[in-house]
Amino acid sequence: MQLVESVPNFSEGRKQEVIDKIVSALSSVQGAHVLDLSSDSDHNRSVVTLVGKPAPILEALFRGTEKASELIDLNKHKGTHPRIGSMDVIPFIPFRNVTMKDCIGLSRELGQRIASELHIPAYLYAYSATVPQRIRLPDVRKGEFEELKEEIKKKERFPDFGEPCLHPTAGAVAVGARKFLLAYNINLKTDDLKVAEKVAKAVRESSGGLIGVQAKGMELKEQGIIQVTMNLLDFESTPLYRVYELVKLEAQRYGVEVLESEIIGLPPARALIQSLAYFIKLKGPTSNITLEERLLEKLYD
């Protein structure tokens, strides 16, 4: 059985009736399952977790993109999160018995279809990127909807699919294949944001830490919490436990302990069991060892 995950992001996080209609479109294909929805009103953006076999997922994403393009006018959209389109980003993630190559194929197929049927230009990013300058989303989104209107006419910003011209209201879309992303936060027993910032600097890839880790120090003022907020972009290479242990170690330099940690979103079971295995010296495999994983295998036989 082949299962793929997709985590489409669309540019509406406030109007519930709009969110509902787009999620309905994403749920309207049998075999494509919406497992999670998270809307942020500051970002004015919603993130959906979708799982299923490749074909229904592809169709569900197309319908969701179509609906978002009908209901969201980027000319009127305001939010703190950068965006280029009403359906802004669509990643494909290998979940079970699917390769990265399969996901690259899916992203290309969807991008092409969105461009030709909805007249929304599509950029390939991450593992699907055709040039190094398009691997990272911030590069693809540079200038956002407002500036991309002009920029898209330059050769280096030509879309991978569609004409070099933004859809007047729906903008453009980034589609691509990537690995699972684990959003992982560790709260520290301190009121000093600087400690979290120093720890974040020590653990993140960009300043010399762990491969595949993005991190920054944050203060959640309302809750009075100092946090190292992280994305783990490759849990196979850099597991949760290693990140936890390194954050703990680096915080200890400043006499600060870990208060608690939290996982945002829905990780695959193996991402968690892999880390338990470290703590209890578990021998043997760390995937396909739960009832749930085995049952899914049977159901998709």
* Surface-to-core class of residue 138, CB atoms within 10 Å of its CB (0-12 exposed, 13-18 middle, 19+ buried): exposed
Candidate list 5, 12, 59, 160; residue touching its own copies; CB under 8 A:
5
Per annotation, catalytic residue among 33, 43, 77, 81: 81
Tell me how far apart the alpha carbons of residues 238 and 244 are, in angstroms, rounded to a whole number: 11
Query: Minimum CB separation from its own copies for residue 25, in Å?
Result: 17
Phi (first) and psi of residue 177, to 5 degrees: -110, 140
Smallest distance, Å, CB 299 to its own copies? 6
Does residue 8 bind its own copies (CB under 8 A)? no
What is the distance of C-alpha 32 from the center of its chain? Answer: 18
DSSP 124-158: EEETT-SSGGGSSHHHHTTTHHHHHHHHTTSGGG-
Q: Is 167 in the active site?
A: no
Can you list the positions of beta strands (E) in 26-151?
Answer: 32-40, 45-52, 87-96, 122-126
Binding characters for its own copies, 106-135, by CB under 8 A (x = yes):
------------------------------
Q: Does residue 236 bind its own copies (CB under 8 A)? A: no
Provide the residue type at 117 as one letter.
E
Residue in 109, 151, 192, 293 binding its own copies, rule: CB under 8 A: 293
Q: Look at the block and give the residue holding tokens 């050769």.
A: 155
Site for its own copies in 252-291 (CB under 8 A): 258-263, 266-269, 272-273, 275-276, 279-284, 289-291
Q: Which of 20, 30, 35, 101 binds its own copies (CB under 8 A)?
A: 35
Contact residues: its own copies, CB under 8 A: 3, 5, 33-36, 49, 51, 95, 240-241, 244, 258-263, 266-269, 272-273, 275-276, 279-284, 289-296, 298-299
